[in-house]
Amino acid sequence: MDQQKAVKNKSDRLISRALRIGVWTSSLLMGAGLLVASLQSGVVQVPEKNPSLMEILSRFFSKAMLLADSSEAITLLYAGLVVLMLTPFVRVLAATIAFGAEKNWKFVGVSLVVLCMLIGELVFSLR
């Protein structure tokens, strides 16, 4: 019984950590974007159309990010939003892993259904 309790506590910490990392990473990215935007001289130009996820990622991981102009502020803000939107996926995935470690197959199944619904929603919204 104590071993089950230890696995449950470990699972709860895994799920909690997934949520905290997602929220803190998102907050740091958006805070950095706001800081870069406030340090810019002039007006920060918002793009006419929202960039795709691939554009955000390629811009975020490029060396041009070090130049920190107004487009970098927008890129940081968008990256923070993307991380915040992906946090529920990571949380459900962590819950699935945690329930599997607990050998709670009923909730593994429920978590997988929820994960499939989230992926379906993402695919449908990107069409």
Query: pLDDT digits over 58-97, tens only?
Result: 777 775 555 555 567 888 888 899 899 889 999 999 999 9
**For the chain, what percent of residues have pLDDT higher than 70?**
83
Buried-exposed string 34-68: b where 16+ CB fall within 10 A, e elsewhere: eebbeeeeeebeeeeeeeeeeebeebbeeeebeeb
Domain of 51? 2-126
Global model pTM greater than 0.75: no
State how many domains the chain has. Answer: 1
Average pLDDT for the chain? 82
CA angle 110, 111, 117 (to 5 degrees): 90
pLDDT of residue 63: 56
Name residue 66's amino acid.
L
Q: pLDDT per residue over 101-116, tens digit each?
A: 888 899 999 999 999 9
